[in-house]
Structure 1
Amino acid sequence: MKNPLSLLTLFALLVCMVANAQRNGKKRNQPIEDNSPPKLIIGIVVDQMRFDYLTRFWDQYGDGGFKRMVNEGFNCKNHHFNYAPTSTGPGHASIYTGTTPSMHGIIGNNWYDKEENETVYCASDTSFKSVGTVSEVGQMSPHRMVTTTMTDQLRLHTQMRSKVIAVALKDRGAVLPGGHTANAAYWFEGSDTGQWITSSYYMEQLPDWVNAFNASSTITDYKKAWIPLKDINSYVESGSDNNAFEGLFEDETTPTFPHSTPNLLSKEKDFEILKYTPYGNSLTTDFALAALDGEKLGTDRDTDFLAISYSSTDYVGHKYGVNSKEVEDTYLQLDKDLERLFAALDKKVGLNQYTAFLTADHGAIHVPAYLKDNKIPAGYLNSDQIKSDFIDFIKYRYGTTDIIKNISNYQVFLDHRVIANLDMDLDDVQEEIAMEFLKYDDVYKVFTGHQMWQNSYSDGIPYILQNGWNQKRSGDVMYVQKPGYASYHRTGSTHGSPMIYDTHVPLLFFGKGIKKGSTADRTEIPDIAPTISVLMGMAFPNGSTGKPISKVLK
C-alpha cells in the first residue's frame, strides 16, 4: 500500500506549481510600465488666457486641442498667480523658474532701475547684437533674470546634451522661458520686415532651416483678411460684433468682421499687424514645427524641450477685450493650431512619448466701460491726475520733489540719500506717502516697503504683492486700484493687477507620466517647474519656491 502522506505531499507540490505558473503567466501578460523620461517636453504659454476661456468656448472646441488635453490629461481648475504685477515678462519668468519676482528679479516688462537710474526692459541687453535683422530688436538676453529655469536644469541634468528651443512672437516670451543655457530663442520681427530673428547671445547666424522658413511664402500667406473660423452667429458666448468697447484697425469705421484693411492685405509691409490676428498664432505653430524638424527634437535618448508662447491672444485681447467675438474666434483658431501641433508630435516624436503643459502668463479684466454699462462697479484709474495731486502734496509737505526718483508700475521710488540728508526717517516717509495715496478715490489699498520687509503675509492682496516685491529692485510704496478699475484706454482689455481676474489662469498637463483627472485645490504658477522637475528626476530651478503638484504625476 502506498504511503498516503507522500501522495498528499505530491498533490500539494503540484498545486503550488500550477499556482506559480498562473502567477507568472499573469505577470508576463501584464504590460510593462515605461518609466523612462519623455523624449520631449512642450511648454505652452497662452498670453492673456483667462481660465474661463477654457469653459466658455468649450462647446466650440474640437476634440484634438484643448479638449484633448483636458480629457486625456490633468486639469488644475483653481490655478493662480501668487504675485503681482501680472504681466508678460514676470509671467514667463515665474512659470519657468518656479518662483516669483521677489526671487527671480523680473518685476515687470519694464521697470525703473534704482542703480542705473533709468527704465530698463526685462530682456534687453546691448552687449549683444541682432541676428537675422539690421535693427536693434534682437539685442536681447536673459541676464536680468537672476535664477535658473527648468530649461536650464534640464540642460545641466544631461551635461548640456538636451536641446532647448524657445519660440514666440514676443522676444520676452522666448528669451525668458529659454533660460540662460538655451540652444536658441527665436522671436518675430514685425514692422515691415516680417522675419524670425534671434540674438548673438545664442548664435552668430541663423540656421539654414530658419533662413529657409523666412524665405518661404509662409509668412506672407498670412497677410489676408481675417474671416471667422465658424459662422459668427454661432459665437453666442461673446457680445455683439459692433460695440463701443473694441478698437479699430486702420481705415475701419466699425470693429466688425471681416477685418480686411490695406495693411492686413499688403504682402510687403506692416507685418506687425499679424500679431493682432489669429494668424500670428498659426505662424508661431508653423515655426515651432519647423524647429521640431530642423533641430531634430525628441529623436535621441536625452529629453529635449520646446517652449512655445502664443502671443496673439494678448494682442487681440488688448485690442478687442474679453467679451469680443474676435477673442472667441482667436481661441477657436488656436484650438485648431494645438490640434495640428499634437498630431505632428504624435507622428514625429511618438504617441505618449512627449509631455506637454499649458498655462498663461496672466489673465485679463473685462473692459471696464462694458462693466460699468452693465451696472458693475468699474472705471479707469486717472494716473495723470494722481501723479499731479501727489507731486503737489510732496512740494507742500517736504518743500522739494527731490525725494521722489520715479513713479511707475503703481510704485513710488524714493531717493534714500536725499531723505537721509534731510534727516527724515525712511519708514515714516513711506507711511506718510501711503496715507496720502489712500485719499485718492481710485486707489483701493496701499503698502510700504517697510511692511514688505517686516511682515510675512500668507494670503490676500498683501501676500500677492509681497511675492512680487523684490528688495533690490522694487519701490518704496505700492498702490492698488479698485476692483474693476484699470489704467488703460476705453477700448480693449488689460491686466497687471493682483485681482483674481488677472491671477486665475488655466493649467493643463498632458502626455507621458501624467495622470488623467482634475483638481479644484489651489495651485500656483511656481508649482509648474517643480512638477516638471520631479517628472524628469532632475534638480529644481535654484530659486524655486513652488511645490510639485503630486496629483498630476503617475
Structure 2
Amino acid sequence: MRSFLFAALSVAAGIWAAPAAAGDAPKPKLVVAVSVDQFSADLFGQYRRHFTGGLARLANGVVYSSGYQSHAATETCPGHATILTGVRPARSGIIANNWFDLRAARADKNIYCAEDERVPGTSSEKYEVSTVHLKVPTLGDHMKRADPRSRVAAVAGKDRTAVMMGGHDVDQRWWWSGSAFTGPGTSPAAARANHRVAEALARAQDPLPLPAPCVARRRAVAIDGGDRQVGAGQFGRAAGNVKVFRASPELDQATLDLASGLRREMRLGEGEASDLLIVGLAATDYVGHTFGNQGSEMCLHLLALDQALGEFFQELDRTGLDYLVMLTADHGGQDIPERNREHGITEAARVDPSLSFETVGKRLKEKFRLKSSPLHGELASGDMYVDPTLKPRLRRKVIAEAVRIYRAHRDVAAVLTADEIAAAPQPVGPPDRWTLMDRAKASFDRERSGDFLVMLRPRIVAYLDTKNYLASHGSPWDYDRRVPILFWRKGMAPFDQMLAVETVDIMPTLAVLLKLPIPPGTIDGRCLDLDEGPESSCR
C-alpha cells in the first residue's frame, strides 16, 4: 500500500504521440471516467506543479480549470449524478444526499439518494442500494441501448458514486461498504482485491514519509471547543483501524486495484464495441472532512493519489488499448475555520447552534403550541421541510415564521421559499455568473425539495459535531462548486481552457466522441470542443 507513494513515474515510450485532430479520431475502445470526491479546482491548481504521475499526465491533456457543479446542493450524490447524465439535479431528481418524504409509509422519513425506501424493514442508514431515485439515463445506459455489446463497470469508495455514475444498466458495480468492497453478483477480481485489503488492514500502518512539498504544510491546528488537533498527520494507524484506512491514500489505492482487476477480468476495451470503466475515488473527501484541506494530510494524500493514478494508467498503456480518460469531481470543499482564520479569513466560523433545525423546530413548536416539532432537516442549512399534516393556514404561518428566523440570523446569506424557486426562470449563461436563485433553481425538484432553502454565508461550516467531520461542503459558493474537468487520450493536443463550463457538459462531450446520439432536449449540457485548433471535436 506504500510502494506507489514515492516511486518515480517512468512515462512509457510513445505516450506523447504527435497531436491529431480530435474530430478525426475513431471511437475510443475504452472510456475511463474518474471522479475524485471533493477535488476542487482550487486544490488542482494548488498542487498542479507538484504532480509527476497520473494527475500530471491529465494536466498535460485538455484542461478545463473552471468546471462547475453549477447547482446549490454541492454534495456527493447530486454532484456524481451530473457527471455522466448531462443533467442538473432539477432534472435528475437527485437534489441532495438525503431528502425528506414526510408522507412516506415507514417511520424513517429521511430518504437516502441511493436507497429504495419501499423495501420492508429498511431505513436511510440500513438500506438496499438502488438506482430507483435517478430519473434519467447515464452515459453507460445510452451506450448499452445503442449497442448491447458495450460493457459498463463501476468501482467506487461510496455506493452513491457507483450508482449515480454507473446508472441503471451496469455489468459490474462495486463499492466500499466499510470493511470490504461489496456489490451484486460475484467477481474473482473483487475477491482478490478484498483479500489484499484484509491483509493490509491486519497490519499496522506506520506514518507515511512526508514528501518535500508537504513539509511546510505540517503544522498542528487546534480545533475550537476541544483538545483535538489536525494538520500534521501522516496516516499512521493501528491494525484493523478501518476508519483511518478510509480517510487515507490506502482506500483510493484499493479502489484503483479493483478497477484494474475488473478491467482485466472483463477484458474491457477489447471487444467489438466501446466499453466504460467508472472509478470513484472517495478518500479525498474523507481526508478533507476529517483534517481540512490545507494541512499535511491533504498534501500527502494528493501526491499519493497522483502516483497511484500514474501506475493505473501505466497498466492501461501496457495493454495497447486506445483509451480516453476523463477526470472531474462531484464538488469542492473548504478548509477548517480555525486554519482559515489563521490565514486571514476572519469571518470563517462554525455555524451558530441556534440555527440547527432541532432548535428552530423547538421554537416553532412552542410559538404555535404544537404537539411536536414541525420542522425537519439535516443540518443548519439546506432544504427544510414543514409538517404537511398541519392545517393549510397554520402551515403557512409556520413556514413564514421559520423563514423569518433564518433570514434574521447573521450566519445566513439567503433563504428562498419553494414557491419563489419554482417561479424563477431556468438559469442561463456561464455558471460563474449565476445568482443564488439560479443555483437553487438548478437543484430544485418540486416533489423532493423542501419548503424553503437555507444558504449560509461564505466560510461558515455547517457541521456542529467536531468529533467526526471538521470541514464541510454543500454550500452554493464557488469553493464548493468549482472543479477541474480533465480529458486525456494518446495523441490529443494539450491545451488549457479557462472559461466556465459545467460538469453536465461531460456526458455530451463523451457521447460525441463515442458517436452516440443523445435525444434532443433531454439533457442540460453541451459538447465541449477538445480540439485546440480551428476544427471541432463536437461535429
Secondary structure in structure 1 of the residue aligned to 2:391:
helix
User: Does the C-alpha gap of structure 1 residues 385 and 188 become closer, same or farther in structure 2, counting only changes over 3 Å?
Assistant: closer
Instruction: Give the partner amino acid of 1:210.
Output: A
User: 1:183 aligned to 2:171?
Assistant: yes
State the partner residue of 2:284.
313
State the partner residue of 1:46.
36
Shift of 1:208: 2.8
Instruction: Give the partner amino acid of 1:497.
Output: S
User: Does the C-alpha gap of structure 1 residues 115 and 127 become closer, same or farther in structure 2, counting only changes over 3 Å?
Assistant: closer
State the partner residue of 2:314.
343
User: 1:299 aligned to 2:270?
Assistant: yes
Distance 1:504 1:31 in 2: 28
Q: Is the CA contact 1:434–1:446 (under 8 Å) kept in the aligned structure 2? A: yes
Distance 2:357 2:307 in 1: 46
Distance 2:461 2:400 in 1: 24
User: Does the C-alpha gap of structure 1 residues 419 and 42 become closer, same or farther in structure 2, counting only changes over 3 Å?
Assistant: same
State the partner residue of 2:113.
122
Counting only pairs closer than 5 Å after superposition, residues 349-360 of structure 1 correspond to structure 2 as 349-350=320-321, 353-360=322-329
Distance 1:321 1:188 in 2: 22
State the partner residue of 1:234.
213
User: 1:446 aligned to 2:415?
Assistant: yes
State the partner residue of 2:527.
548
CA shift digits 1:397-417 (9 cap, x unpaired): 544366935233522212345
User: Does the C-alpha gap of structure 1 residues 34 and 477 become closer, same or farther in structure 2, counting only changes over 3 Å?
Assistant: closer
State the partner residue of 1:213.
193
Q: Is the CA contact 1:299–1:349 (under 8 Å) kept in the aligned structure 2? A: no
User: Does the C-alpha gap of structure 1 residues 246 and 508 become closer, same or farther in structure 2, counting only changes over 3 Å?
Assistant: farther
Distance 1:472 1:105 in 2: 9
1:461 to 431, 436, 458: 436
Q: Is the CA contact 1:278–1:330 (under 8 Å) kept in the aligned structure 2? A: yes
State the partner residue of 2:352.
382
Secondary structure in structure 2 of the residue aligned to 1:75:
strand
Distance 2:51 2:501 in 1: 25
User: 1:100 aligned to 2:88?
Assistant: yes
1:408 to 359, 378, 384: 378
Distance 1:452 1:516 in 2: 40
Secondary structure in structure 1 of the residue aligned to 2:310:
helix
Distance 2:22 2:402 in 1: 65
Shift of 1:123: 1.2
Q: Unaligned regions of 5+ residues in structure 1, if any?
A: 1-29, 130-135
Counting only pairs closer than 5 Å after superposition, residues 240-255 of structure 1 correspond to structure 2 as 240-245=218-223
Shift of 1:220: 1.9
Q: Is the CA contact 1:142–1:180 (under 8 Å) kept in the aligned structure 2? A: yes
User: 1:145 aligned to 2:120?
Assistant: no
Shift of 1:322: 1.1
Counting only pairs closer than 5 Å after superposition, residues 498-509 of structure 1 correspond to structure 2 as 498-509=476-487
Shift of 1:143: 1.1
User: 1:57 aligned to 2:37?
Assistant: no
User: Does the C-alpha gap of structure 1 residues 472 and 288 become closer, same or farther in structure 2, counting only changes over 3 Å?
Assistant: same
Identity %, equivalent residues: 26
Instruction: Give the partner amino acid of 1:178.
Output: G
User: 1:534 aligned to 2:534?
Assistant: no
Shift of 1:138: 8.0
Q: Is the CA contact 1:321–1:366 (under 8 Å) kept in the aligned structure 2? A: yes
Q: Is the CA contact 1:355–1:513 (under 8 Å) kept in the aligned structure 2? A: no
User: 1:273 aligned to 2:244?
Assistant: yes
User: Does the C-alpha gap of structure 1 residues 512 and 156 become closer, same or farther in structure 2, counting only changes over 3 Å?
Assistant: farther
Distance 2:401 2:149 in 1: 55
Instruction: Give the partner amino acid of 1:548.
Output: C
Q: CA RMSD in A?
A: 3.1
Q: Is the CA contact 1:102–1:469 (under 8 Å) kept in the aligned structure 2? A: yes
1:260 to 232, 236, 242: 236
Q: Is the CA contact 1:226–1:257 (under 8 Å) kept in the aligned structure 2? A: no
State the partner residue of 1:16.
none
User: Does the C-alpha gap of structure 1 residues 229 and 336 become closer, same or farther in structure 2, counting only changes over 3 Å?
Assistant: farther
State the partner residue of 1:480.
455
Shift of 1:429: 5.9
User: Does the C-alpha gap of structure 1 residues 399 and 253 become closer, same or farther in structure 2, counting only changes over 3 Å?
Assistant: closer
TM-score normalised to structure 1 length? 0.81
Shift of 1:128: 8.0
Instruction: Give the partner amino acid of 1:187.
Output: W
Distance 1:431 1:374 in 2: 38
Q: Which moved more, 1:396-405 or 1:468-477?
A: 396-405
Instruction: Give the partner amino acid of 1:284.
Output: T
TM-score normalised to structure 2 length? 0.83
Distance 1:380 1:431 in 2: 26
User: Does the C-alpha gap of structure 1 residues 551 and 38 become closer, same or farther in structure 2, counting only changes over 3 Å?
Assistant: closer
Shift of 1:46: 0.3
Q: Tell which structure's C-alpha radius of gyration is larger.
A: 1
Instruction: Give the partner amino acid of 1:176.
Output: M
Shift of 1:75: 0.5
CA shift digits 1:258-300 (9 cap, x unpaired): 54342xxx2xx34343111111111111111101101110001
Distance 1:144 1:401 in 2: 32
Instruction: Give the partner amino acid of 2:488.
Output: F
Q: Is the CA contact 2:218–2:233 (under 8 Å) kept in the aligned structure 1? A: no
State the partner residue of 1:11.
none
CA shift digits 1:416-444 (9 cap, x unpaired): 45232xx4684x76455323321122111
Q: Which moved more, 1:443-452 or 1:120-129?
A: 120-129
Q: Which moved more, 1:288-297 or 1:240-249?
A: 240-249
1:367 to 336, 343, 364: 336
Shift of 1:348: 1.4
State the partner residue of 2:98.
110
How many residue pairs get aligned? The number is 493
Shift of 1:56: 1.6
Distance 2:162 2:455 in 1: 29
CA shift digits 1:508-537 (9 cap, x unpaired): 011168552121111011111111111112
Shift of 1:150: 1.0
Q: When you count helix as a share of all residues, which structure comes out higher?
A: 1
Q: Is the CA contact 2:157–2:280 (under 8 Å) kept in the aligned structure 1? A: yes
CA shift digits 1:42-83 (9 cap, x unpaired): 000001111122222223211x41121121x21001111111
